[in-house]
């Protein structure tokens, strides 16, 4: 089968099947062999790997993955793409295509079945409308994962990578960095896709930590604190936490805790790093669990 990273080959397949792009599924297919090579190299895919691909489209990256991995599981929501994938992937016996919504798939069960429960690699050109639920779902459901190498909107890649003191810093930065080490490995312009998206894109690799960089008594509490701090970004941390319906700490408890940490009473959540959120979480936890 011809390399679909070459635009003419993608056009031929689309015409043969009279395929109509579905905007609601975030369909922007890759048509650049350099970008495809870069993704495969950054994900470090090799013959021992079981790879999960989210949204294979017409199978462009799936072909590259099938050449390099032991097994590829490709989950595609659009049923119109399934016969096309049957055609474009017919030369490979190591690809399993599943016609499902990735947010409804039991990925841990799949990893167990296809990889003995050992860590899988996730590689994808993601549908941008569900980037955050996909990534947070992968981390929070404790699926065994080695790394996630994905194309996302450039702005979202930046948010995942930055630390305190920048406008992009937020709950997503902290959540991603709690679970993984993020590295942007390529910036990708709109002309590498068909049709062209109206935003810039970037490939980011998230390498899962063996141990989280902070160990806290109650992970859920720390994430509630993080969410509450950034939900009301313009408020002080004291007010943000005190106003949150997810939390029940008094103003006095919060101010006393900030004082213990040597932080100003007027500090905003966006000034705290992951270590400080961890410390805040443990101190507040102790107040209610002694
Ligand atoms: N991998 C292909 C490529 O690089 O050319 C296609 C990438 S395209 C950006 C995103 C793909 O994800 C589309 O094929 C789309 O139909 C699929 N998709 C969208 N929502 C999905 C979902 N909830 N579950 C699984 N696949 C989904």
Report the CATH superfamily, name and number, of domain 7-208. Answer: Vaccinia Virus protein VP39 (3.40.50.150)
Average pLDDT of the chain to the nearest whole number: 96
Q: Is 78 in the pocket of ligand 1 (CB under 6 A)?
A: yes
- Helix/strand/coil for 69: coil
Q: For residue 116, what pLDDT is reported? A: 95
Asked whether the predicted pLDDT for residue 222 surpasses 80, the reply is yes
What is the spatial distance between Cα 73 and Cα 111, in angstroms, rounded to a whole number?
9
Asked whether the predicted pLDDT for residue 283 surpasses 80, the reply is yes
What is the spatial distance between Cα 261 and Cα 23, in angstroms, rounded to a whole number?
48
pLDDT digits (tens, 9 = 90+) for 125-180: 999 999 999 999 999 888 999 999 999 999 999 999 999 988 899 999 999 999 99
Asked whether the predicted pLDDT for residue 105 surpasses 90, the reply is yes
**Contact residues for 144 (Cβ-Cβ < 8 A; gap 6+):** 108, 111, 115, 117, 118, 119, 120
Asked whether the predicted pLDDT for residue 290 surpasses 80, the reply is no
Pick from 133, 65, 86: nearest CA to 105: 133
Q: For residue 1, what pLDDT is reported? A: 74
What are the residue ranges of CATH 3.40.50.150 in the chain? 7-208
Name the pairing type of β-strands 180-188 and 201-208.
Answer: antiparallel
What is the spatial distance between Cα 137 and Cα 77, in angstroms, rounded to a whole number?
17
Higher pLDDT, 199 or 233: 199
Centre of ligand 1 to C-alpha 101, Å, is 10
Q: Is 102 in the pocket of ligand 1 (CB under 6 A)?
A: yes
Report the DSSP beta bridge partners of residue 148: 122, 206
With beta carbons less than 8 A apart as the criterion, state whether 60 and 81 touch.
Answer: no
Centre of ligand 1 to C-alpha 55, Å, is 3
Asked whether the predicted pLDDT for residue 231 surpasses 90, the reply is no
Q: Percent of the chain scored above 70 by pLDDT?
A: 100
Q: Model pTM?
A: 0.94
Q: Is 32 in the pocket of ligand 1 (CB under 6 A)?
A: no
Find the distance separating the first CA and the last CA of the chain, reported in whole Å.
65
Q: For residue 288, what pLDDT is reported? A: 92
User: Could you tell me the fold of the domain covering 219-288?
Assistant: Helicase, Ruva Protein; domain 3 (1.10.8)
Quote the tokens at residue 77.
């929501």
Candidates 127, 129, 131, 150: which one to mutate for ligand 1, based on the most atoms within 8 Å of Cβ?
Answer: 127
What are the residue ranges of CATH 1.10.8.100 in the chain? 219-288
Q: Percent of the chain scored above 90 by pLDDT?
A: 95
Q: Is 75 in the pocket of ligand 1 (CB under 6 A)?
A: yes
Asked whether the predicted pLDDT for residue 60 surpasses 80, the reply is yes
Pick from 76, 206, 111, 99: nearest CA to 152: 206
With beta carbons less than 8 A apart as the criterion, state whether 204 and 131 touch.
Answer: no
């Amino acid at each position: 089968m011809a390399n679909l990273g070459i635009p003419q080959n993608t056009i031929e397949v689309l015409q043969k099947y009279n395929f109509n792009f579905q905007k609601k599924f975030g369909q922007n297919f890759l048509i650049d062999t350099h970008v495809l090579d870069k993704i495969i190299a950054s994900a470090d895919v090799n013959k021992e790997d079981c790879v999960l691909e989210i949204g294979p489209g017409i199978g462009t990256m799936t072909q590259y993955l099938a050449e390099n991995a032991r097994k590829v599981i490709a989950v595609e929501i659009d049923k119109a793409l399934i016969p096309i994938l049957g055609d474009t992937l017919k030369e490979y016996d190591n690809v399993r295509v599943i016609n499902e919504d990735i947010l409804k798939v039991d990925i841990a069960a799949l990893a167990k079945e296809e990889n003995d429960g050992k860590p899988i690699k996730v590689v994808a050109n993601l549908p941008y409308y569900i980037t955050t639920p996909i990534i947070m779902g992968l981390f929070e459901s404790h699926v065994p994962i080695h790394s996630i190498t994905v194309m996302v909107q450039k702005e979202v890649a930046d948010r995942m990578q930055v630390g305190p003191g920048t406008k992009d810093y937020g709950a997503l930065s902290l959540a991603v960095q709690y679970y993984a080490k993020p590295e942007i490995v390529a910036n990708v312009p709109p002309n590498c896709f068909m049709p062209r998206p109206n935003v810039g894109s970037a490939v980011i690799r998230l390498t899962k930590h063996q141990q989280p960089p902070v160990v806290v008594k109650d992970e859920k509490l720390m994430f509630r604190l993080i969410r509450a701090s950034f939900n009301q970004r313009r408020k002080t941390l004291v007010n943000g936490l005190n106003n949150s319906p997810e939390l029940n700490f008094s103003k006095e408890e919060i101010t006393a805790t900030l004082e213990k940490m040597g932080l100003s009473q007027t500090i905003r959540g966006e000034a705290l790093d992951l270590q400080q959120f961890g410390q805040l979480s443990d101190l507040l936890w102790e107040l209610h669990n002694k």
